[in-house]
């Protein structure tokens, strides 16, 4: 039931934690995209965070694919 409500309305809060990067241990689903995530301090939802852009990223699949492609291009260039 909570997933249905979240899918319809999502988190509209703007009160986020400081970005956190996982080194080891528990891997947040939000951190699986960029390695860094923030948490909404009002509802507890986790969001991927992009350090280069310094902003919260949408967790929509199209955005995830674009970011993954961008990361792969950066890795090949390095």
The pLDDT-based confidence of 38 (bands split at 50, 70, 90) is very high
pLDDT for the residue numbered 12: 79
pTM of the model: 0.60
Distance CA 38, CA 18 (A): 6
Between the CA atoms of 34, 17, 24 and 74, what dihedral angle is there, to the nearest 10 degrees?
20
- In the chain, where the domains are located: 2-77
Q: What average pLDDT does this structure show over 25-48?
A: 83
Q: What average pLDDT does this structure show over 52-76?
A: 70
Q: What average pLDDT does this structure show over 18-41?
A: 81
The pLDDT-based confidence of 22 (bands split at 50, 70, 90) is confident
Sort 52 into a burial class: Cβ within 10 Å, 0-12 / 13-18 / 19+.
exposed
């Amino acid at each position: 039931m909570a997933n249905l409500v979240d899918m319809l309305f999502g988190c509209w809060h703007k009160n986020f934690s400081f970005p956190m990067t996982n080194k080891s241990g528990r891997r947040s689903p939000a951190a699986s995209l960029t390695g860094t995530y923030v948490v909404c301090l009002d509802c507890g939802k986790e969001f991927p965070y992009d350090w280069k852009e310094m902003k919260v990223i949408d967790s929509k699949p199209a955005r995830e694919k674009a970011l993954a492609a961008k990361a792969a291009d950066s890795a090949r260039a390095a």
